[in-house]
Amino acid sequence: MTKRFFVTGTDTEVGKTFTTQALLSALQARHTGCTVNGFKPLAAGAELIDGQWQNEDGIALQQASSSALNYSLVNPEVYPQAIAPHIAATLCQRPIDESNIDAALVQICECSDWLLVEGAGGWHVPFNAKRCFSDWVVAHQLPVILVVGVRLGCLSHALLTAQAIRASGLPLVGWIANHLSEPTEVSHDNVGYLKEAIDAPLLGVLPYSPGTVPAELAMYLDVCALD
């Protein structure tokens, strides 16, 4: 049976994809011979490549996966505009199709020993007026990994997101601190505070590293808690 995890963030632009790529590399190194793949169910913001709309985060997960996967399997629902997905869907007059996402999840699990499912934006991103991405995660009972972008305001964002995940009934199996700028004494203090305040293992602290290949940062992650 595939071991599946959902990777969410405290906000948009906190390094979810970068961190997910590093996690994929860490799991591939720890579980040699196992197939470790990435899945981006929903993305907004894409360019037309060979006649197909493709999102840069979806491409990154496709390239970081163990398997040679078709893009449409890695990212089944994608919209051109880089805005909130439900608004992008409205502008395209094409509602987000959960059944398409569900079918892709089943198919990608069939060729994966481990699967990291990356969200879009933060925890409660809307699918439509009645459903959020978090509702889909609950429906599929995916354990959650939280990426905290270490910057001003991260304490409240991290605590509120962790609280919301717990309130959903899902396990928060771990969190990762991702430095979005050069670390300072204050940022180190923030990580130290969250380490005590969040009731889940700290899987790693990623340094500020613009231009670094995510796989090179796998060494900063301890994925033992995911076994």
- Active-site positions read 40
Ordered strands of the 172-179 beta sheet: 36-39, 114-118, 3-9, 144-150, 172-179, 202-206
CA angle at 162 for the pair 157 and 167, rounded to the nearest 5°: 125
Q: CA 114 to CA 111: how far, in whole Å?
A: 9
Between helix 185-197 and helix 154-167 the angle, nearest 10°, is: 20
* 75: Cα separation from own chain's centroid: 13
Q: How many CB atoms lie within 10 A of CB 47?
A: 11
What the block records as the tokens of 4 is 């599946």
From 7, 96, 1, 93, select the one nearest 44 (Cα to Cα).
96
Beta-strand pair 47-49/52-54: antiparallel
